[in-house]
Amino acid sequence: MSETLFVYPEAVDRFAFDWGHLTLTCGPSVNGAGRFSAGVVHVPPGQGHSRHNHPGAEEIIYVLEGEGEQMIEDPDGNPVTETVRPGCTMFVPESRFHSTLNTGDTAMKLFVVYSPAGPEELLRELPDFRLVPPPHA
């Protein structure tokens, strides 16, 4: 993989799901990043992804646009849910279950970072996964 320093979402593949999509803009398969991966998540109004975790990986979620409910379990496995809006940074500790629901009238746009890289590749195994190539491909 060559080192690509500048990547726009419209230039790379999109991981589409029934609840929205993830576009990886940084990671081993995109530009050779070795220690983390990152991308942009779009969640339409009324949609969300169900409770899941990333074994062995931490995640950062930053709200760019929209509003919703974010659930992250505490160390005892109890769900902690907050209403989130642009500017909020959420930390999902290693292997912790979490979920997102868009409760607003517009799409939620989130910037996500996984460390170490890898959890995003497991998404390819989900039953509703669809790979959408870039428009100019």
Q: Does residue 64 sit within a domain?
A: no
Q: Which domain range does residue 20 map to?
A: 12-39
- Picking from 113, 117, 112, 110, the residue whose alpha carbon sits closest to that of residue 1 is 117
Q: Does residue 115 sit within a domain?
A: no
Q: Does residue 34 sit within a domain?
A: yes
Q: Does residue 30 sit within a domain?
A: yes
Task: Note the pLDDT tens digit of each residue in 35-50.
Answer: 999 999 999 999 999 9
> Which letter does DSSP use for residue 35 in this model?
S
- What's the pTM? 0.93
pLDDT value at residue 88: 98
pLDDT value at residue 128: 94
Considering only residues 60 and 5, tell me which one the structure prediction assigns the higher pLDDT.
Answer: 60
Q: Does residue 16 sit within a domain?
A: yes
- How many structural domains is the chain composed of? 1
Q: Does residue 95 sit within a domain?
A: no
Cα-flanking dihedrals φ and ψ of residue 34, to 5°?
-105, -25
Q: How many CB atoms lie within 10 A of CB 79?
A: 12
Considering only residues 103 and 137, tell me which one the structure prediction assigns the higher pLDDT.
Answer: 103
